[in-house]
Amino acid sequence: MVDAVDKVFAGSIPDVYDDYLVPLVFEQYANDLAQRTAALNPRGVLEVAAGSGVVSRAVAAVLESSARYVVTDLNPPMLDRAASMQDDPDRVEWQAADALDLPFDADTFDLMLCQFGAMFFPDRVRAYREARRVLGEGGSFIFNMWDRIEENEFAHEVTRALAEVFPDDPPRFLRRTPHGHFDTTTYRSELEAAGFSDVDIEPVDAISVAADPAVPAIAYCQGTPLRTEIEARYPPSLEEATARATDAIRKRFGDGVIRSRMRGFVITAR
């Protein structure tokens, strides 16, 4: 289940998210989605749960100039950040929208994208039905989900460190939401329930690189709704909790430039 606070990206979270978390874990997967998009040569693309626009930037760079590209997110602050980061913001149509109730006519697009957003949907089957509705005949829905937290080492280490900081009530956002929906049989059954008949699920491994141990600690502790969980538990302060996570990462991975494993899935439904 997704808690209400898990969907709130406000205040300074969008800026920290884009400055730290995007290059740490999202850029490689965004470039992968952009390559898949270019191979399909779509005429109309809808992106949902776009966040701060890492996919938008990658996809806009490879789309034909004649292709329509509509980018949406539930959180206006994230969408504002995405538009501000786009080299050519007029290339994209920006619109706040709920993936469970898309404000578009049926058969409007031939590709829909969503990078690491479906885990935030309170009703994924309903969202997938909306995807099926707005896609034309033969259209594709391509999205990412994270594998279990143990396969994503920086996130796992931050979660373990914070469990030591708050032993009586450990923050569980990362384990509960981004890394809490990794059952591939569930992806398939939910998509089939929504009307998709051809579903392909591909694990994609990558290496996350950080300039130093503070980067992943700041990225997760201050650039995600984990921040809200930390700030609701006191003491210690957000800065102190981030420092403890930094120390834990340093002990595990060393100092200076560090690397860790990460794994996601690319799901293509047609």
| Tokens (6 digits) for 198 | 């051809």
* pLDDT tens for each residue of 36-92: 999 999 999 999 999 999 999 999 999 999 999 999 999 888 898 899 999 999 999
* pLDDT tens for each residue of 144-195: 999 999 999 999 999 999 999 999 999 999 999 999 999 999 999 999 999 9
144 in Cβ contact with 33 (< 8 Å): yes
* pLDDT tens for each residue of 99-154: 999 999 999 999 999 999 999 999 999 999 999 999 999 999 999 999 999 999 99
Whether domain 4-269 has CATH 3.40.50.150: the reply is yes
Least confident of 138-142, 219-223, 232-236: 232-236
> What is the domain partition of the chain in residue ranges?
4-269
Q: What is the pLDDT of residue 5?
A: 46
Nearest Cα to Cα of residue 104 among 65, 81, 72:
72
Amino acid identity for residue 124 in this structure: R
Q: Which residues contact 182 (CB under 8 A, 6 or more apart)?
A: 145, 146, 147, 148, 265
Q: Which helix (H) or strand (E) holds 80?
A: helix 76-85
Q: What is the pLDDT of residue 14?
A: 77
pLDDT (average), residues 229-251: 94
